[in-house]
Amino acid sequence: MRRAFSVRLTCALIWGIGIFGVAAHVALAGAENREVSEQRAMRAYVAAIRYFNPGIDEDEARRIVVAIARESIAEGVDPRLIVAIVATESSFDRTARSSAGARGLGQLMPSTAADDNVSNVEDIDQNIHGTVLTMKGNLDHYSRYDKQHQYVYAIAAYNAGSGAVDEYHGVPPYDETVHYVWKVIVLWRRLWGLTAT
């Protein structure tokens, strides 16, 4: 029961703070408003997912929202960041497959999936679990830096691997990774209700 409330609360916070820049206390002003805000949050995120992937049905989009909220709460990772990563990686296509072998919503490589105990990369819950664990590991790995560098390096490591980020002492000079980091950060900022730059 408490976990379900936490997921609903996170959805309301994501919607209230992220999409429209409304202060959290406004979104959570009262019990009646909380339920309305939770419903609006879910509708907003389902709509966002369907914007990136028009072919996805509403039930699957809802499952993705719930999985992101649940796993993000459990690991203490900003759910908006996970939404930005999944949107950039796969456009919310759980069957996505890259030429390099990455698969699923978070485009997990086979070794990463195995490290995160993901046996079925097309399973929404498992893939989001692996995506959040990978990002959490990256954030922990770069926690010695100020917040800005920590997040930029963690996002770059999600794309290029922490070995490349460590080797270059920052974002590797790969066009794909530079573009990836920029795209994730722009989307993440927009989900916070900020300008793109």
**Cα–Cα distance list, 75 to 52, 108, 130, 158, 169 (Å):** 25, 18, 11, 16, 26
Is-contact 50 56, C-beta < 8 A? yes
Alpha carbon distance 7, 124 (integer Å): 16
Residue 99 Cα to chain centre, angstroms:
22
Q: Phi and psi for 97 in degrees, rounded to 5?
A: -145, 130
Question: Is there a contact between 84 and 106 (Cβ–Cβ < 8 Å)?
Answer: no
CATH label, 2-191, candidates 2.40.160.40, 3.30.450.20, 1.10.530.10, 3.40.640.10: 1.10.530.10
In angstroms and rounded to an integer, the radius of gyration of the C-alpha atoms of the chain is: 16
Domain boundaries, the chain: 2-191
Q: What secondary structure letter does DSSP report for 97?
A: B
Average pLDDT along the chain, 197 residues, taken 10 residues at a time: 44 41 36 66 91 95 96 95 97 94 93 90 95 98 97 97 97 96 95 82
pLDDT value of residue 195 = 84
Q: Which residues are catalytic?
A: 89
